Structure 1
Amino acid sequence: MSETVEIEPIDQLVAMLRSGGLDFSGSLEQARADFEAMLATFPVAPEWAFAEGQVGGVPAVLIDYPGADAARVLLYMHGGAFISGSAQGYRSLAAGLAQAVGARGVSVNYRLAPEHPFPAAVEDVVAAYRALLADGVAADHIVLAGDSAGGGLVVSVLVALRDAEVALPAAAFAISPWADLRCTADSYASKAAEDPSLTREALVHSAGLYLGGGDAGHPLASPVLADLRGLPPLLIHVGSAEVLMDDAVALARAAGQAGVDVRLEIWPRMVHVWHVFGFMLEQGRRAVADAGAFLRSRMG
């Protein structure tokens, strides 16, 4: 009698990602639609409430749930390589993280490239953050979070706010950050066979659309190259099966060298933004809970 071999959830997820990958090299309109359709299949908890709104003139999804502290805000930046994705598509991850923090959520629909190239995304999130302050939310009652392109954007926004001498938030969380748009890190090659989601070719293509002919070395495009002095506490998560692993490591190194309170966690076998797959991965649920505790503990 043969033994039944149980397939681990992470292996099921990797197989699913390899069989249904998105192609952004063809029609961008179709790729965006396909991406949104995939994200729409992710379950949301019945207690989460979502409303379309604007914050500082920027479209956003406003997230609430029973017990949320209205005086505290998680400001979220979605992924999608700066050319796709939406706050609505990433609502499950943003809401789960907001609930883990105990805050209401504001997930920003920043403008996408190539229609609105760099630095439009940075400008939109900065505008939303300034609006929260103007509405009376204390800076130390705000935390920033984002994934992938949004993870790098988190740090770019912090740098832009610091340079503008705006009061900084209590802490920030970068999930699988795309933080170096030059796309030259060693992990693009060393992790290529393990990563079922991203390739260097796709990211180089997306970076070109986002930059619109601009410099990939600009510190607000590639925050690994920015002066990170004076930034608030920063938590960085990345999986060991990601081509962006070296981006996370380089970002943590740059933050640490600048004297920032930074914590880098490399989760074994995890794929790009595994947090969004918490409905099937225990590691995804645990990562969101751990990050929520980190952010909540830094709030005033």
Structure 2
Amino acid sequence: MSWQSIVLNQIFRLRKRRIVKTDPRAIKAGYNKLEEKTEKTLKIPTTTEHRVDTLNGVPCEWMIAEGAKDSDQLVLYFHGGGFMLGSPPILHRPLAARLSAKSGRKVLLVDYRLTPAHTYPAPVEDCSQVYQWLLDNGYNANQIAFGGDSAGGNLVLSVIQSAREQSLPLPALGICLSPWADLTHTGSSIQSNKYRDPMLPVEILELMALIYGKGHNLAEPKISPVFADFSGFPPLLVYAGTTEILLSDAERVVAAAEAKGVTVESKYWHKQAHAFPVMTQYLPEAREAVDGMADFINRHMR
């Protein structure tokens, strides 16, 4: 475990104690302040093209490294943030830039609608609409990879379900980073890692789940993909940290997929924080994780 991870985990623990647990507006305000501070220090290579676009009415951002500009393949990436945070996806730009450079593919970040104003199924619909746009505009499904962290990892699995329901071709593969895949929070790590997780308070997740799933059963498979039928899913790569309260979510996604014969690769990273690959600018483990994602893409997309 790198010294950078040790320091960041300690910072996360201090912030965790101060997080407001009951007011969504306070949660959003705190995150927005963090984004404002972080945006000033983000380092995106000058050779990487960053372009804002709107596809099927959904705002998106392209991150295209120098070596990916002529690629006819892409990674459709869904950011995390509890379905409440992360718009625009500022904090995910460095990850997207590195993934584009390492994989040689374009990366498209989807800026889907967020709670509390937009609850389920709005994020699934937005991400599905962007996927549909790609299919309608020259991309074959085998040219598209899905990726996402936390709530975005949930969306990877939910949008695949949605595509299957509509008899659309499925993407070439899916990558789930610390997937928040059980909004009923019945996994064992919710309790066993409650005090070990440096970042996420259980109470915050419970609040965000109730807001996102308003009016729906939180055990619905497209809200909590651990309960989904993974039949016919493309190959999956799943990462999580060993001290996350969502570790069980990742493990159960792997088990459910393997039970249906899906090709799955997983890695559980020693004491890494929730969705740590997003922090490529700070953590050597994050850079290693993104390199592993690129390798997975290169092996499953031709």
Task: Return the TM-score normalized by structure 1.
Answer: 0.93
Q: Is contact 2:91–2:278 with CA below 8 Å preserved after alignment?
A: no
2:14 aligned with 1:19: yes
How much does 1:229 deviate? 0.3
| CA pair 43-16 structure 1, distance change in 2 beyond 3 A | farther
Q: Which amino acid is the alignment partner of residue 221 of structure 1?
A: I
Which of 100, 107, 110 is the matching residue for 2:109? Answer: 107
How much does 1:284 deviate? 1.0
The DSSP-based 3-state class of the residue aligned with 1:71 is coil
Deviations 1:236-284 (A, max 9, x none): 0001121100000001101111111111211112111111222232211
User: Which residue pairs with 2:4 in the alignment?
Assistant: 9
Q: Is contact 1:174–1:234 with CA below 8 Å preserved after alignment?
A: yes
Q: Is contact 1:23–1:31 with CA below 8 Å preserved after alignment?
A: no
2:290 aligned with 1:296: no
Q: Within 5 Å, give how 1:39-50 maps onto structure 2.
A: 39-40=38-39, 41-50=41-50
The DSSP-based 3-state class of the residue aligned with 1:248 is helix
Segments of structure 2 that go 5 or more residues without pairing to the other structure are: none
User: Which residue pairs with 2:240 in the alignment?
Assistant: 238
Q: Is contact 1:114–1:209 with CA below 8 Å preserved after alignment?
A: yes
User: Which residue pairs with 2:121 in the alignment?
Assistant: 119
User: Which residue pairs with 2:82 in the alignment?
Assistant: 81
Q: Which amino acid is the alignment partner of residue 284 of structure 2?
A: E
Which of 135, 139, 160 is the matching residue for 1:137? Answer: 139
Overall identity of the aligned pairs, in %: 35
Q: Is contact 2:153–2:176 with CA below 8 Å preserved after alignment?
A: yes
Q: Is contact 2:191–2:245 with CA below 8 Å preserved after alignment?
A: yes
Whole-Å Cα distance in 1 between the matches of residues 186 and 34 of structure 2? 26
Whole-Å Cα distance in 1 between the matches of residues 271 and 75 of structure 2? 28
| CA pair 39-166 structure 1, distance change in 2 beyond 3 A | farther
The DSSP-based 3-state class of the residue aligned with 1:204 is helix
Whole-Å Cα distance in 2 between the matches of residues 23 and 46 of structure 1? 37
Whole-Å Cα distance in 1 between the matches of residues 62 and 227 of structure 2? 32
Deviations 1:189-237 (A, max 9, x none): 1112221110211000001111113110111000110111001000000
Between 82-91 and 230-239, the greater mean CA deviation after superposition: 82-91
Q: Which amino acid is the alignment partner of residue 121 of structure 2?
A: P
User: Which residue pairs with 1:226 in the alignment?
Assistant: 228
Task: Return the TM-score normalized by structure 2.
Answer: 0.93
Whole-Å Cα distance in 1 between the matches of residues 133 and 78 of structure 2? 16
Which of 278, 281, 291 is the matching residue for 1:279? Answer: 281
How much does 1:24 deviate? 5.7
Q: Which amino acid is the alignment partner of residue 179 of structure 1?
A: A
Aligned length in residues: 294
What is the Cα-based RMSD across aligned positions, in Å?
Answer: 1.6
| CA pair 210-144 structure 1, distance change in 2 beyond 3 A | same
